């Protein structure tokens, strides 16, 4: 009898350990994107900010939207998800450009294909996956039921990024252009542009070919060419122009 009990507890330990070692390799993650519109307006003001005070009275403080990330076999596709019906939806010019991006990553080939709407133009940005020099910390946070570790980085020379990733999901992807950590990025915060992305749930669904196909339409450019066009178009826009470029080039 004693031997049977010992065998039972040993097998239970083995089964629990094996379950913890199982990695998620495919599925769909929903992200909630939040932008503090009031702070964005304040940060965009040059000199006289009386107009900012008036606009803040007519729009909600936060703009919330949802995106889905499909992933399987080293490929990810990030695109707009479910819509929120809001009586106080901010005007498009306040939302800024490239707020509904579609981003495809082939992480094995290190290829990035993104569809970005910049005011009246649609750009199909084809380039290599952005190289980010992450610094992994010991801080942890639970997101959508997964234990995540914090990492930080600087992009575009001066934009500070905080990310949270889990090694329980094998794919090294994330929302927008963020990747390069040893697991899936489930949370991103960029204080400079008052924006966050946090996963709300993971669905273990079968990923169809159309769920993970890259966008195909738009004016073809690479990141360097897009940056040059933005800088030329917005050179006289002051803080507002610089902030728009940060949003587009995420």
Residues linked to residue 194 through DSSP beta bridges, in sequence order: none
Predicted local confidence at residue 92, as pLDDT: 67
Q: What is the pLDDT of residues 46-103, one digit of tens each?
A: 766 777 888 888 888 999 999 999 999 999 999 999 988 765 666 666 777 999 999 9
Predicted local confidence at residue 86, as pLDDT: 66
What string of DSSP letters covers 122-174? EEEEEEEPPP---EEEEEEEEETTEEEEEEEEEETTTEEEEEEEETTB-----
pLDDT (mean) for 210-239: 95
Report residue 18's pLDDT band, with 50, 70 and 90 as the boundaries: very low
SS3 202: strand
Predicted local confidence at residue 129, as pLDDT: 97
CA nearest to 174, candidates 69, 33, 24:
69
Residues 6+ apart with CB under 8 A from 169: 23, 24, 27, 71, 146, 183, 184, 186, 202
Residues 6+ apart with CB under 8 A from 176: 78, 101, 103, 188, 197, 250
Return the minimum-mean-pLDDT range out of 28-42, 91-105, 123-137, 179-193.
91-105
Residues linked to residue 70 through DSSP beta bridges, in sequence order: 28, 77
Pull the structure tokens for residue 62. 């936060």
- Give CA angle at 146 (141, 150), nearest 5°: 35
Predicted local confidence at residue 21, as pLDDT: 57
Q: Residue 222 carries which DSSP code?
A: -
Indicate whether 227 pLDDT > 70: yes
pLDDT (mean) for 171-193: 97
């Amino acid at each position: 009898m004693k031997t049977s009990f010992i065998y039972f507890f040993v097998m239970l330990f083995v089964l629990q350990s094996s379950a913890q070692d199982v990695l998620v390799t495919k599925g769909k993650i929903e992200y909630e994107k939040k932008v503090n519109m009031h702070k964005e307006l304040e940060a965009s003001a040059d000199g006289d900010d009386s107009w900012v005070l008036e606009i803040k009275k007519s729009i909600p403080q936060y703009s919330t939207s949802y995106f889905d990330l499909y992933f399987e076999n080293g490929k990810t596709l990030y695109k707009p998800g479910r819509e929120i019906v809001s009586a106080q939806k901010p005007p498009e010019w306040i939302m800024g450009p490239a707020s509904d991006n579609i981003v495809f990553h082939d992480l094995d080939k290190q290829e990035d294909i993104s569809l970005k709407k910049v005011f009246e133009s649609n750009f199909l940005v084809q380039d290599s996956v952005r190289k980010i020099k992450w610094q992994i910390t010991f801080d942890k946070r639970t997101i959508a039921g997964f234990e995540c570790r914090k990492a930080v980085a600087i992009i575009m020379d001066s934009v500070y990024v905080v990310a949270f990733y889990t090694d329980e999901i094998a794919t090294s992807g994330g929302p927008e252009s963020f990747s390069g950590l040893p697991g899936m990025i489930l949370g991103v915060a960029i204080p400079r542009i008052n924006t966050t992305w946090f996963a709300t749930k993971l669905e273990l669904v079968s990923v169809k070919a159309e769920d993970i196909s890259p966008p195909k339409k738009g004016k073809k450019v690479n990141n360097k060419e897009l940056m040059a066009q933005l800088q030329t178009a917005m050179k006289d826009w002051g803080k507002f122009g610089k902030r728009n470029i940060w949003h587009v080039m995420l």
